[in-house]
Amino acid sequence: MKKTQDEPGLFFELQDLTVLFSLVKSMEDRLSQGERNILIEIEKTLYEHLSIKEVAKLISTKTGA
């Protein structure tokens, strides 16, 4: 996670997001709607910065697909 004095908020490195995504994705069926919204935003960010194949691999690893 990056820390900054310039902007308020949390800033994550891509590697941090992949770990967080994997953890939260594995609990997807138990998430509240708000938590699902966060998962969706993380997934969108990963699709912006990783290949579709890399994101699909993250998803299949955690869902057993």
For the chain, what is the domain count? Answer: 1
Contacts of 1 (CB under 8 A, 6+ apart): 10, 11, 12, 13, 16
pLDDT in tens, the chain (65 residues): 566 667 777 888 999 999 999 999 999 999 999 999 999 999 999 999 999 999 888 888 765 55
* Residues 17, 18, 21, 23, CA torsion sign: negative
CB count within 10 Å of CB 62 equals: 16
Is 37 a domain residue? Answer: yes
Give residue 42's pLDDT: 93
Give residue 11's pLDDT: 83
Can you read off the two tokens belonging to residue 48?
A: 């912006």
Q: Could you tell me the residue range of the domain that residue 57 belongs to? A: 33-65
Is 6 a domain residue? Answer: no
Is 1 a domain residue? Answer: no
Supply the pTM of this predicted model: 0.73
Match 């919204």 to its residue by tokens. 37
Give residue 29's pLDDT: 94
